[in-house]
Amino acid sequence: MSKYEVPSMFLPDETSDILKGRRVAFVGKLGSMSRREAAQLVRRHGAVVVEKPDASVDLAVVGEEELPVPQADGLDEWFDEPTQQAAQQGTLRVITETQLWERLGLVEGPEDIHRLYTPAMLAELLGVSVAVIRRWHRRGLIVPVREVRRLPYFDFREVAAARRLAELLAAGVSPGQIEKKLAALARYLPEVERPLAQLSVIVRGKEILLRQGDGLLEPGGQLRFDFESWEREPVGLTAGEPVVSIPGPEPVATSPEEMCRLAAELEEDGQLAAAAEMYRAAMAAAGPNPEICFQVAELLYRQGDLSAARERYYTAVELDEDYVEARANLGCVLAETGQTDLAVAAFEGALAYHADYADVHYHLARALDELGRRDRSEQHWRAFLELAPESPWAAEARTRLTP
C-alpha cells in the first residue's frame, strides 16, 4: 500500500472537471505515492498522462519528496525551451502535487499526506544536530505546520526543504546561490509560498546579503544586524533598559528582544558561552522566560555542562508546565546522567500533556528497557511505531520488539 491511500469513492469510471481531457505530466519525485499510482489516479479523472512534459502538456505536477532546485538561469533540467515558453505564456500550468490532491478533494491539507517530524526526528533524518534544525526554524527557512505545547512539527514539504538545504550547504553552495535557484523556481510556481523563496537579496558594495527578518544573512551563513536600517530608524530606549556591547567599533543599546537576536547570532557563530550569557542578560532585563530558559539549557548541554542544563530544563518546566519539549529534554539529560527513574518520570510527565509525542515514547521505551521493565517498554515501542513508522529510529524499535 502506498503512503497515500486513494479513497474508495473514486471509482475508475469517475472523472473530474479539473483533469478531464487535460494532458498531464509529473516532474520530480512524488512524496505521497509512486508515479505509477499517481498516473492511474489522474487517468481515473479523465486525464491523459504524458511521460515527459512538452509544449503540448496542459498541466505539470511537481513532486515534493525531494523538491528539485533548478539551475539559476532557468529550468532546463525540467523543461526544454519550448516547454518553458509554454509555461511563461500560461498555456502550461505548473502546480505541486499537494495542490493537485487538494483540488481533487483528496486531502484537506498537507499534514494529511504524511506524518509529521519533530526537530529531533528531522535532525536524525538529515544527519545534522538539533541545534542546526532550530537555527533553520528560527531563521524561517523551515516553518512548522503546527505546534503542540511549544513543540514544532514539520511536514514532508519542510523535510524536503531541509534536506535540500543540508545538501546544498554541505556541497559549499552559498546562500546567495541558493537564492538564485529558488528565484528561478518561484517564477514557475507563483502560488507556492515556500519559506525558502521568501528571502530577499540586498547588494552592498561587493557584498551580497539576504534579508531575513530584522537581520541580514551573509554568504557564509552568519546572521548579523542591519546597522544601516538602525541608523535610519533609531532604536529608542526606556528608563532602566540595559546597554550591552555588540562586537564592533561602537556599543549599541538593545532591548531584551534584540539581546535574544544577538544571542542567536552568537550561537550560530559558535560562541556558545557568550550566547548563554546574552540570554541571561535578556532575562535579567525582562524577567524569567520559559523559552529563553530552554535555549540556555540547550547551550549548556552542548557545552557539556549537564547538571546546569538539567536545572535550566527544570526551570523551563516550572515556568510553563505545558512545555513538553523541555520535559522531554529534561528526561534525556536525566537518563544520560544515570538518573533513569527520574528520567522515566519526566518522560511520563511529557506524555501526560502530549500523549502523541513520538520522541518521548521512544526515549521512555529505552529507559524502561534499561530498568528491565520489558512489559511496559513494549507498550511504548509499539506506540512509537504507530505514531512514527517512518522515523529514523523505527528500525531500532522493530528490533527491540523482535522476540
Q: Strand 23-27 and strand 48-49: pairing?
A: parallel
Q: Residue 34 to residues 65, 114, 204, 289, 391: CA-CA distances in angstroms?
A: 11, 14, 46, 46, 20
The pLDDT, as a whole number, for residue 166 is 77
Q: What is the mean pLDDT of residues 45-73?
A: 74
Grid cell locating 213: 527578518
Q: Tell me what the pLDDT averaged over the chain comes to.
A: 75
Percent helix / strand / coil, the chain, rounded to 5: 50, 10, 40
The pLDDT, as a whole number, for residue 298 is 95
Q: How many CA atoms lie within 13 A of 305 on its CB side?
A: 14
Could you please state the CATH topology (level 3) that the domain comprising 23-112 is classified under.
Rossmann fold (3.40.50)
Q: Strand 48-49 and strand 59-62: pairing?
A: unpaired
Single-letter amino acid code for the residue at 347: F
Q: Could you tell me the pLDDT band of residue 369, with boundaries at 50, 70 and 90?
A: very high
Cell 508546565, residue?
Answer: 321
Q: Which residues have C-beta within 8 Å of that of residue 108, sequence separation ≥ 6?
A: 102
Percent of the chain with pLDDT over 70: 67
pLDDT at 190 over 60: no
pLDDT digits (tens, 9 = 90+) for 110-161: 444 446 888 998 888 888 888 888 888 887 778 888 888 888 988 877 887 7
The pLDDT, as a whole number, for residue 146 is 85
Residue closest to 312 by CA, chosen among 290, 328, 297, 295: 297
Q: Could you tell me the pLDDT band of residue 81, with boundaries at 50, 70 and 90?
A: confident
The pLDDT, as a whole number, for residue 19 is 85
Single-letter amino acid code for the residue at 92: L
The pLDDT, as a whole number, for residue 224 is 58
Q: What is the mean pLDDT of residues 163-173?
A: 70
pLDDT at 317 over 80: yes
CATH code reported for the domain at 227-240+250-320: 1.25.40.10
Instruction: Give the C-alpha separation, 225 to 258, whole Å.
Output: 9
Higher pLDDT, 94 or 233: 94
Q: Among 15-19, 160-164, 182-186, which is the least confidently predicted range?
A: 182-186
pLDDT digits (tens, 9 = 90+) for 15-37: 456 788 899 999 877 766 678 87
Q: Among 24-38, 224-238, 336-350, which is the least confidently predicted range?
A: 224-238
pLDDT at 71 over 80: no
Tally of CB atoms within 10 A around 10: 14
Q: Residue 365's Cα: distance from chain center in Å? A: 26
CB 188 within 8 A of CB 75: yes
Q: Could you tell me the pLDDT band of residue 221, with boundaries at 50, 70 and 90?
A: very low
Higher pLDDT, 370 or 138: 370
CB 400 within 8 A of CB 381: yes
Q: Among 195-199, 325-329, 334-338, which is the least confidently predicted range?
A: 195-199
- 168-206 burial string, b = 16+ CB within 10 Å, else e? bbeeebbbbbbbbbbebbeebbeebebbbbebeeeeeee
Could you please state the CATH topology (level 3) that the domain comprising 119-222 is classified under.
Multidrug-efflux Transporter Regulator; Chain: A; Domain 2 (1.10.1660)
pLDDT digits (tens, 9 = 90+) for 242-301: 333 334 433 343 688 888 888 888 887 889 999 999 999 899 888 999 999 999 999 999
Higher pLDDT, 80 or 351: 351
The pLDDT, as a whole number, for residue 290 is 94
Q: Could you tell me the pLDDT band of residue 103, with boundaries at 50, 70 and 90?
A: confident
pLDDT digits (tens, 9 = 90+) for 200-214: 333 343 343 444 445
The pLDDT, as a whole number, for residue 223 is 56
The pLDDT, as a whole number, for residue 397 is 95
Beta strands in 115-194, from DSSP E residues, in sequence order: 146-148, 151-153
Single-letter amino acid code for the residue at 292: I
How many helices and strands, by DSSP H and E, does the chain display?
17, 12
- CA dihedral for 139, 143, 149, 151, sign (positive or negative): negative
Q: Residue 256 to residues 203, 215, 236, 262, 338: CA-CA distances in angstroms?
A: 29, 16, 13, 10, 36
Where exactly are the structural domains of the chain? 23-112, 119-222, 227-240+250-320
